[in-house]
Structure 1
Amino acid sequence: MTTLDITDGIAVLTIGDDENRFTLAWLDEVEAALDRVVEAGTPLVTTGEGKFFSNGLDLDWAMANPEEFGGYAQRVERLLARFLALPVPTVAAVNGHAFGAGAMLALAHDWRVMRADRGFFCLPEVDIRIPFTPGMAALIQARLTPRAAVDAMTTGARFGGPEAEAAGIVDATAAEEGLLADAVARVAPLQGKDVATLESIKSTMFAPVLELLRGTSA
């Protein structure tokens, strides 16, 4: 279950305490939470609890409902677009494993702080034979250096915190007990940024990616 806490002008979205896969119910909860964040206009920290940040797509449901997968994938892409263009400062506090779409969720934030001693960032699509959609590929390539994008997308490599920081996948690492505080400290000085201006800036910065993720490109 997801929770949203807004304290001292900072919103902390906890996306669950299990594998935090993108179930239909999870998508509903996260979308509702983002509505509240935008209304409040507060910086956002997104994190999980336990050993997972997010394992991404609900593959069991997808395999059981192949006729609905197209619509489901589009909804996931629209959520990634929403995080990417969210009109408030955002940081992912990556508390554990971030795989597949869960890793892309972290990349859709402005910044990433990852636990130093446990958990992997991984894009396993090459090994599970699920090609990236154009929108997902564009998101990854917009957020990573060309070298890191090739290494992550074509090898399925697992990056621990220090390796992810060295590759520029995350901006910093932290001990488990300091992860959330470090993430909050990264965006706390950015309180009060004008929502309309920030929305315009992000929409311009990421226009080609957003068009692909939203399915609005020509």
Structure 2
Amino acid sequence: MPYLTRSGDVWELYLGTQGHDLDPDNPENRFATAWLTALETALDEVEAQATGALVITATGKFFSNGLEIAELADPANQDTYIDRVHAIYARVLTLPVATVAAVNGHAFGAGAMLALCADHRVMRTERGFWSLPEVALGMPFPDGMASLLAERLPESTRTEAMTTSRRYGGDEAATAGIVEEAVAVDDLLPRAREIAQARAGVAGANLASVKRTMRRAVLADLAPTAAR
């Protein structure tokens, strides 16, 4: 389950389970119900204190492999489930602290989009892909996710990623504008912490307000289905 640590000004939110490179119950860090609850609890703590800066990362082979397919099996539950995922995106986009995604491994689908919600993204070079596999799987993009991709990616990259399901390694992702930097694995967390530390001084309610203003359009599309 996702867990939170803090050292000085820098929070670190891990998408897996403490003490395990791969969570034995959810080795791909998929967006299962219990996993989402743990993630929401961690974000509650960061929001409540509104100080420092946040690094979002994981350990092992995966950053996150996205949606839990079992959660989509019941058509009656699909809207509620997607609304919950969208709410996570909206919260990360508007946190009152600077956010840095340290993409340690595969980031696919909804997991790839979670990384895009961070203010700054660093990805390792040696292993792992960022990819949107939806078109290859015959899955549509909900309006909120499509809007997020339009907001956070260059148009040419968005078109290629959404319509071809291309897998981008770290260097390719940096060239395409998906991440700002690609670094060796040993430098991944140190670099993410360095960026987070440099931005910690702007934390607070005003930062959250600035983010909401900047991202008003995508936040409207991420709102719950019933509210749109």
Q: TM-score range by the shorter chain?
A: over 0.9
CA RMSD of aligned residues (A): 1.3
Match in the other structure for 2:185? 176
1:125-174 deviations in Å (ceiling 9; x for gaps): 11111111111011011111111111111110000001001101001011
Point out the more displaced range, 29-38 or 98-107: 29-38
Match in the other structure for 1:71? 80
Match in the other structure for 2:63? 53
Match in the other structure for 2:221? 212
SS at match of 1:141: helix
CA contact (8 A) 2:53 2:203 kept: no
Instruction: Write the distance in 2 (CA, Å) between the matches of 1:30 and 1:62.
Output: 19
Instruction: Write the distance in 2 (CA, Å) between the matches of 1:194 and 1:35.
Output: 15
Instruction: Write the distance in 1 (CA, Å) between the matches of 2:197 and 2:203.
Output: 14
Alignment counterpart, residue 156 of structure 1, candidates 134, 144, 165: 165
Match in the other structure for 1:12? 12
SS at match of 1:91: strand
Match in the other structure for 1:195? 204
After TM superposition, the structure 1 = structure 2 runs for residues 109-148 of structure 1, keeping only pairs within 5 Å, are 109-148=118-157
Instruction: Write the distance in 1 (CA, Å) between the matches of 2:106 and 2:43.
Output: 22
Number of positions where the alignment pairs a residue of Structure 1 with one of Structure 2: 217
Instruction: Write the distance in 1 (CA, Å) between the matches of 2:184 and 2:171.
Output: 11
Instruction: Write the distance in 1 (CA, Å) between the matches of 2:203 and 2:95.
Output: 12
Residue 37 in structure 1 maps to residue 46 in structure 2: yes
Residues 61 and 134 of structure 1: CA distance in aligned 2, closer, same or farther (over 3 Å):
closer
Runs of at least 5 residues in structure 1 that lack an aligned partner in the other structure: none
Instruction: Write the distance in 2 (CA, Å) between the matches of 1:42 and 1:194.
Output: 6
- Which amino acid is the alignment partner of residue 172 of structure 2? E
CA contact (8 A) 2:67 2:109 kept: yes
SS at match of 1:191: helix
Alignment counterpart, residue 99 of structure 2, candidates 83, 86, 90: 90
Percent identity between the aligned chains?
47
Instruction: Write the distance in 1 (CA, Å) between the matches of 2:170 and 2:207.
Output: 29
Residue 28 in structure 1 maps to residue 37 in structure 2: yes
SS at match of 2:100: strand
Match in the other structure for 2:3? 3
SS at match of 2:146: helix
Instruction: Write the distance in 1 (CA, Å) between the matches of 2:48 and 2:76.
Output: 35
Deviation at 1:94, TM superposition (A): 0.3
TM value normalised by structure 1: 0.96
- Which amino acid is the alignment partner of residue 47 of structure 2? V
Instruction: Write the distance in 1 (CA, Å) between the matches of 2:182 and 2:165.
Output: 21
Match in the other structure for 1:165? 174
Instruction: Write the distance in 2 (CA, Å) between the matches of 1:156 and 1:81.
Output: 24
